[in-house]
Structure 1
Amino acid sequence: MTIIATGEIFKKKPKTFSHYFEMYLKSVNRNRSYFQALPHRRKVEAHFGSRDIDTITRLDIKNYLLDLPILSRSKAIYLGAIVGTFNCAIDDGVIQTSPAHAIRLPREAKSDIQYFSKQEVKKLLDNAEGDLNPYLLIAFHTGMRPEEVLGLQWGDIGSTHISIKRARTRNSIRPTKTPKGVREVPYPSFIMESVNKLKANSLWVFNLQDTNSLYYRWNKLLERCEIPKRKLYATRHTFATTALNDGLLSINELAGILGHTSPNITLQYYSSAIKSNTVFFEGGFDLFCLKNDTEEKRTLRKTL
C-alpha cells in the first residue's frame, strides 16, 4: 500500500543503457560524422549496455573514460555518446539528472604536427611503387585527407582542379568530414602522368581491393627509405607547412584548400610549423616615415 500512496507504482521502470543508446543513435544518424564515429560509440554500449540506466554512477563513467588507452581528445566521442544516452533517459522521465553532466576531460599538451622535408618527399616519391606513387603525388600536392583521396572518382578530376565530394574507406562511403570539406583544389598538371596510368574499367581512381594494404605498404616504404615512421596523414601536414613556408598560400587560402571551417583552425594546427625567419623587413623599412622626414619604400616580403 505504501508504493500506491507515494506514487511509486506509477513511475516508469528504468530501462537498460542499450535501450536509450539506440534512441541516442537515432537522434544523431543524420550527422556527417555518424559512420565515422559509430564504431567508437558502439564500444560505449558494449561496456554499459546491459546495466539499468539509473544504476550507472558518475564514478563509473569517470573510471571508464580514465581506463581508455587513448588521448583525451579522442575520448570526446565516447563521452558525447554517454551524455547523449543519459539525455534520452531524462527525456523519457526515468531519471532526473545525468551523472555525465559537466564531466571534463583533462587537457593535454598539444604535440607538434609531423611533416616531411622536401628531400624526404622526393625520396618517398622516387621509391613508391604501384598505385602508392600516384596516391602520394595527389596527397602531397593537394593536402587531401587519406579518405578523400580514396574517395576520388575519375569524373572528379578536371583539367586544373580536383572536386572533393566524398570520403571512402574500406568499409564505407560517406560525406566529407565537414560541410567545408566539399571543395575544389588545384593540382599541378605533371602529376597526371602517373595518375592516368591507373585508368581501368572502374568508377574509382583507386581500387580499394588494391589499397587494403595501403597503410602496410606506406610503413614499408618509410622503412625502405630509412625515414622515421609517420602517419599517412602527415602528407596533408607536409602540403600545408610547405605552402605556408614557401609563401605560396595565405592562411585564408590554405584553410579553403584544406576544407577547414575557419582559418582559426588552420592557425591552431600550423602556427608552430611556420618558420620565424621567413618574414623580415628589408633595410630601408621606415613604417612611419620618420627617418630624415622622407618617405622611404617599405617592403614586407617572405623568403622563398
Structure 2
Amino acid sequence: MQDIRAIILNRSDRKFWYIRYFVTKADGSISKYEESTGVKKAEKTLAYMQSKFLPAWLARRIEDSKRTMVKSKEFNYFANIFLKNYEVWEDYQNIEYRTNRILAEFGKKDIRTITKLDIKQYLGPLTNVKTGKSLDKSTKNKYLRVFHGIFDVAVDAGLIDRNITFDIKLHERKNRDLEEIRPFSKEEVNLLMIRAQDTQYGSLLHNYLGIAFNEGMSPAEILGLQVGDIDLQRRTIKIRRNVTKSKVKGTKTAYRKRIIPIFTGAMLHIERLVAEARRKHSLWLFSKEDGNNLEDIKDIRGTRQIIKDGKSIKQNTKWYKLLLDCGVEYRDIKNCRHTFAVLALESNAFTPQQIANILGHSDLKMLFEHYAKWLKDKAIDADTSINLYESLINKDYKQVTV
C-alpha cells in the first residue's frame, strides 16, 4: 500500500463511531472502505475520535500493512485469500481443485518472481489426472482464470503493480481428439436401442439412450431432469440443472438453461419415466428405488476403469457390454449427444440456429467447430436439380447462345 487516508463518520442510526478510509495503491488506483470503530458515541466525543483515536488507528493500520507485506510474498498466501472469496460460489469445488493443483507447483514461490513464461510452461502440458490426456484450451483457460484471481489479490495488497496473467493467451490445439466426438451411425443407434431393452444392461439404460439419442442433451442434463420439467401436453422439456459427481447444480452457462421440444423418438421413453417417477413418489425422472436422484452417469453407465498410462481402457460397465454385444466400436456415452447433433445437421429438418439452441450452444461457430468435420464430403449428395436463381433467369434474363 502506498497511502491510507481516513475520516471519522457519525452514522446517525448507529451507536458506534465509524471510520471511512481510502487506500491508494501502487498503480495509483484508490479503494474506499468503511468499518465500525467499536467505540460508542455515548462514551467518546467527535473531537476525541479525530484527535486521539484516528491517529492511533492510522498508525496501527500502516504498521499492520507493513508486517503483512513482509510475510505475504508467497503465492499460497494470496491463493488462500482468493479461495476464501469464492467459498460461496456454486462452482467452488472446481475452483478449489484447480487452485490446489496450481499450489503444488507454485505454492512456496514468491509471487513477484513468477513470470508469464512460468505460467505458460505450466499450463501447456497440463493433463487430466485420471486419463492422462492433454486438457483442451477451454479447460486450461479455467486454470488461467485462477491465476488471474490470485494475482489480483496480490495487486490489491500492493505487493505487485499489475496483473501479468492478463497478458497470457493460450493457443488452440490444431486437432481435437477424435475420441471426444465420434458419433454413431443410424444403423448403430437402431442396434443399440433394440439390444438395450434387455435388463442385463440395467433397468435405466434403454430409456436414457432414448432421450440422449433423440434430444441431444448431455448426461448431466438428463440426470438433472425432474417430472416438473416435463410438459407432455406441450411436448417440451425445461433444462435447468445438472447432476454429476453427487452434485446438483444449475446449468453450466445461461445458454444451457433452455426449453427444447420433445421429439417423437423420445416421447415413449419420457412417458415411461414420468409414470415410474410417480410410482416412486419421486421428483426425478431418473432415480433410485427409494426415489432419490442418481448421483452420476456411472449409476446408469457403470463404473469406468482406466489404466494409468492413459492409453489402454479396461471396462466393467453396462454401456461397454452393450457396445461389445452389438459389435459396435467403443466410445464414450456422451457421443449420444454428438450423434443427435450430426444427424440433425444432415437431416436438413432444422436450421443450424435451431440445432444450436437445442444443444445449448452460445453461437453457430461453436456448433460448426464441433461437428463440421463429420459433415465433410456431404456436399456430393446435394440435389443437383436445385437452381437457386431459377425465377430470376426465367423472368429477367434472355438465354444467350454463342
| TM-score using structure 2 length | 0.63
2:107 is the alignment partner of 1:49: yes
- The 3-state SS of whatever aligns with 2:182 is coil
**Range 167-176 or range 68-77, more displaced:** 68-77
- The 3-state SS of whatever aligns with 1:167 is strand
Q: Does the 8 Å contact 2:244/2:296 carry over to 1?
A: no
CA gap of 1:243–1:165, structure 2 versus 1, over 3 A, is same
2:206 is the alignment partner of 1:105: no
Instruction: Find 2:369's aligned residue among 244, 252, 268.
Output: 268
Write the mapping of 1:1-304 to structure 2, written as runs, cut at 5 A.
10=66, 12-13=69-70, 14-25=72-83, 34-69=92-127, 70-73=134-137, 74-111=139-176, 113-128=181-196, 129=201, 130-159=203-232, 160-187=235-262, 188=264, 189-196=267-274, 198-199=276-277, 200-207=280-287, 208=294, 211-213=297-299, 214-216=301-303, 217=317, 218-274=319-375, 275-277=378-380, 279-282=382-385, 286-287=389-390, 289-290=392-393
Compute the displacement of 1:58 (Å).
Answer: 3.6
CA gap of 1:101–1:276, structure 2 versus 1, over 3 A, is same
What amino acid does structure 1 have at the position aligned with 2:157?
D
- The 3-state SS of whatever aligns with 2:184 is coil
Partner of 1:302: none
Partner of 1:300: none
Compute the displacement of 1:201 (Å).
Answer: 3.4
Compute the displacement of 1:233 (Å).
Answer: 1.7
1:181-216, CA deviations, whole angstroms, 9 ceiling, x for partnerless residues?
111111222223543464323322223268544253
What amino acid does structure 1 have at the position aligned with 2:286?
F
CA distance in 2, matches of 1:271, 1:230: 19
**Range 250-259 or range 207-216, more displaced:** 207-216
Compute the displacement of 1:94 (Å).
Answer: 0.8
Q: Does the 8 Å contact 1:151/1:168 carry over to 2?
A: yes
CA distance in 2, matches of 1:285, 1:238: 30
* Larger RCO, structure (CA 8 Å, separation 6 or more): 1
CA gap of 1:183–1:19, structure 2 versus 1, over 3 A, is same
CA gap of 1:35–1:140, structure 2 versus 1, over 3 A, is farther
- The 3-state SS of whatever aligns with 1:280 is coil
Segments of structure 2 that go 5 or more residues without pairing to the other structure are: 1-64, 128-133, 288-293, 304-316
Q: Does the 8 Å contact 2:75/2:111 carry over to 1?
A: yes
| TM-score using structure 1 length | 0.81
**Range 27-36 or range 262-271, more displaced:** 27-36
Compute the displacement of 1:150 (Å).
Answer: 0.8
CA distance in 2, matches of 1:125, 1:67: 39
CA gap of 1:197–1:219, structure 2 versus 1, over 3 A, is farther
Q: Does the 8 Å contact 1:72/1:106 carry over to 2?
A: no
- The 3-state SS of whatever aligns with 1:162 is strand
CA distance in 2, matches of 1:185, 1:283: 32
Partner of 2:17: none
User: How many residues of Structure 1 are paired with residues of Structure 2 in the alignment?
Assistant: 288
1:170-189, CA deviations, whole angstroms, 9 ceiling, x for partnerless residues?
33111101112111111222
Partner of 2:14: none
CA distance in 2, matches of 1:285, 1:83: 51
**Range 132-141 or range 41-50, more displaced:** 41-50
What amino acid does structure 1 have at the position aligned with 2:248?
I
CA distance in 2, matches of 1:141, 1:284: 33
CA gap of 1:264–1:215, structure 2 versus 1, over 3 A, is farther
CA distance in 2, matches of 1:224, 1:197: 30
1:18-55, CA deviations, whole angstroms, 9 ceiling, x for partnerless residues?
33223334556677755555433332233323433234
**Range 58-67 or range 231-240, more displaced:** 58-67
CA distance in 2, matches of 1:77, 1:285: 45
What amino acid does structure 1 have at the position aligned with 2:76?
S
Structure whose alpha-carbon radius of gyration is higher: 2
CA gap of 1:258–1:46, structure 2 versus 1, over 3 A, is same
Aligned-residue RMSD, C-alpha: 3.1
- In terms of fraction of residues, the more strand-rich structure is 2
What amino acid does structure 2 have at the position aligned with 1:140?
F
